[in-house]
Amino acid sequence: MTSPLLSDRILSLPKAELHLHLEGSILPATVCALTARHGVAMTEAEVRGRYAYRNFPEFIEAFKWVTSFLRDPQDYALIARDLAEHLLTQNVVYTEVTLSVGVMLLRKQQPEANFEALLRATEPFERRGLRFRWVFDAARQFGAEAAMKVVELAKRCASKAIVAFGIGGDELSVPTEAFRSTYDKAAELGLHRLMHAGETGGPEKIREAIELLGVERIGHGIAAIRDPALMDFLAERRLPLEICPGSNLKTGALVLQLGRKHATIEDHPLPKLLRHGIPVVLSTDDPAMFHTTLQTEYENAARMGLNQEELLKLVEMGFLHAFDLATERREARST
Ligand SMILES: [Zn+2]
């Protein structure tokens, strides 16, 4: 691996990837294999045509389209192996992968069987030094009742590999307040709590997620840049933002939060948030769908002006805010 923007040290360091959607990581060649399994012939060029969007709703449409080909446990095993091979090329040794269990339930699939297939598919990679942990994810727009079913499924799967419950999807749909009992239940089961907030929604969505639901890491959260008091609060409480610059550029979240018509990656607020003392974990979100990799995101961070020391800090923070590793550190301290 080489890069004109990154030192060999940054490139070669092992990394953690904490905001990563399994269904957004399906490379065009694998999409073709999936569609072929279900009787639809497609070329990679056609898939690439589908993986192009001008805004967030168009991205959601493409996400729905690609997930419509995830129909049985073998499909999930196929894409998990593909993702694992990709992560090894990026020196990732620990990942928390978000799984759209809410979508599986909507499509009346058997999430337990899909999850079992994922565990089996990723097990050989654990031996190769890549640890997989899972986030069971509900879609906000499907409502609180559907979200509770995702939490219940996490309980039924009863796997230590499930570390957190999260909510993504359309931030402007259902009010945060509606999910109180869902997050209470998740906490009761010992799951960590995550939520996408301040991606397309305003800074108040971030505050609500923390204050009403006890969320421990915020997905995206770039809207914080619009609220200095919230920035202070995040820094004081050491609440991490999972920042995915390539995603923000491609979905239009960046121009939206900056209130501009055009923006480039250099305009991303990551440096301001980081230099304000807010923990930042750098991630890819949906790497195949946003044509990015973890290395590309480190290059993006370098383009924003982060120096070597700050890039090293980003690598460290990926491990520091990883749920399972934090638990291990606590346990190690208490023995
Ligand atoms: Zn996401």
Give the pLDDT confidence score for residue 107 in this predicted structure: 93
DSSP for 185-239, written as a single string: HHHHTT-EEEEEESSSS-HHHHHHHHHHH--SEEEE-GGGGG-HHHHHHHHHHT-
Instruction: Give 285's DSSP letter.
Output: B
Q: Sorting pLDDT into bands at 50, 70 and 90, what band is 323? A: very high
- Residue 259, by phi and psi: left (phi above 0), alpha (psi -120 to 50) or beta? left
pLDDT band at 207 (very low <50, low <70, confident <90, very high): very high
Residue pair 12/91 in contact (Cβ under 8 Å)? The answer is: yes
How far does the centroid of ligand 1 lie from the alpha carbon of residue 142, in Å?
Answer: 16
In the predicted model, is pLDDT for residue 113 greater than 90? yes
Mean pLDDT value of segment 252-258: 96
Residue 201: pLDDT above 80? yes
pLDDT of the residue at 332: 73
Of the residues 23, 199, 216, 242, only one is catalytic, namely 199
At residue 150 the predicted structure's pLDDT band, cuts being 50, 70 and 90, is very high
What would the pLDDT profile of 18-71 be if each residue is shown by its tens digit? 999 999 999 999 999 999 999 999 999 999 999 998 888 898 899 999 999 999
Residue 305 C-alpha to ligand 1 middle, in angstroms? 24
Ligand 1 midpoint to CA 20 (Å): 7
As a whole number of angstroms, the distance between CA 81 and CA 78 comes to 5
Q: Is the pLDDT of residue 334 over 80?
A: no
Alpha carbon distances (Å) from 156 to 102, 116, 149, 151: 15, 12, 10, 9
Bridge partners, 16 (sequence order): 94
pLDDT of residue 329: 73
Contact status, residue 244 vs residue 285, Cβ threshold 8 Å? yes
Pick the closest to residue 320 from 242, 251, 259 (CA basis): 242
Residue 199 is among the residues annotated as catalytic for this protein: yes
Pairwise pLDDT comparison (235 vs 54), residue with the higher score: 235
Report CA(219)–ligand 1 centroid distance (Å): 6
How many CB atoms sit inside 10 A of residue 81's CB? Answer: 16
Q: Which CATH superfamily is domain 8-334 in?
A: Metal-dependent hydrolases (3.20.20.140)
Which structure tokens are listed for 107? 């499509």
State yes or no: pLDDT of 327 exceeds 80: no
Question: In angstroms, what is the span from residue 333 Cα to ligand 1's centroid?
Answer: 32
CA of 93 to the centre of ligand 1 (A): 20
pLDDT of residue 189: 97
Q: How confident is the model at residue 335 (pLDDT cuts 50, 70, 90)?
A: low
Sequence-separated (6 or more) residues with CB below 8 Å from residue 174: 140, 141, 143, 144
Q: How far is the C-alpha of 33 from the C-alpha of 27, rounded, in Å?
A: 10
Distance from Cα 229 to the centre of ligand 1, integer Å? 25
Q: Whole-angstrom Cα distance, residue 98 to residue 291?
A: 18
